[in-house]
Amino acid sequence: MTTTTPARTTARTAALVHEIRQVVDRGLAPDLTAYLVGERLAPHLGAPDLLTCDQREGHPDRYRQHVLHTEPDGGFSVVALVWLPGQETAIHDHVSWCVAGVHEGAEREVRYRLAPAPAAGGAARLVATEEVVNEQGEVCGFAPPGDIHKVRNSCGTKAISVHVYGADVARLGSSVRRVYPEPTG
């Protein structure tokens, strides 16, 4: 993943940030915060004035992260992820609640859970639990624990998703807490 510095904010992005701030400032539980932020994000997805031309640019080698906004107190960040065909994340979880909405294209998401070790002294194993294709306009949100997943551009064109994280992504560089190895067997 490549990261860019925050760019010019569009009026629509500024309005979205204001709506997100109203939710986050309520101090609700992480899962409820994610749900309510997702409700605020959905109406903006697909709008041509949400992102600038620069914020729609991908990278030929890996998905690209454009930081759109970070709250001064670090309470949340808004980023656009641009995926060229076939680009994907590793299996990972997050440092905070998060919401993702597909702005353009489609993304395939595989969700996982940690299963107990099969024998005493063994390690927990990763088990795929669900595979979904999120199309333009669809939103999903989650909060740790139980937020292990892998995301891939599943369409033949560029895909763009807008993510909101309950953390300061500009300071952290990413919302990823842990990366997991691909399951075997």
> Which domains does the chain show, CATH number per domain?
2-180 (2.60.120.10)
What 3-state class would DSSP assign to 71?
A: coil
Higher pLDDT, 180 or 79: 79
Residue labelled with tokens 């993943």: 1
For the segment 22-43, what is each residue's pLDDT rounded down to a tens digit?
Answer: 999 999 999 999 999 999 999 9
> Across residues 56-75, what is the average pLDDT?
94
Cα–chain center distance at 164: 7
What is the mean predicted confidence (pLDDT) over 125-151?
91
Average pLDDT, the chain: 90
pLDDT in tens, 51-60: 999 999 999 9
For residue 7, pLDDT beyond 70: no
Q: Letter for the amino acid at 95?
A: V
Of the pLDDT bands very low, low, confident and very high (cuts 50, 70, 90), residue 183 is: confident
The type of residue at 9 is T
Q: Radius of gyration of the chain from Cα atoms?
A: 16
- Alpha-carbon distance of 86 to 95, in angstroms, equals 25
DSSP 133: E
Q: 154 phi and psi, to 5 degrees?
A: -105, 15
Name the residue with higher pLDDT: 158 or 7: 158
- Cβ 142 vs Cβ 100: under 8 Å: no
Instruction: Using pLDDT thresholds of 50, 70 and 90, give the confidence band for residue 144.
Output: confident
pLDDT above 50 (res 5): no
> Does residue 185 surpass a pLDDT of 80?
no
What percentage of the chain exceeds 90 in pLDDT? 73
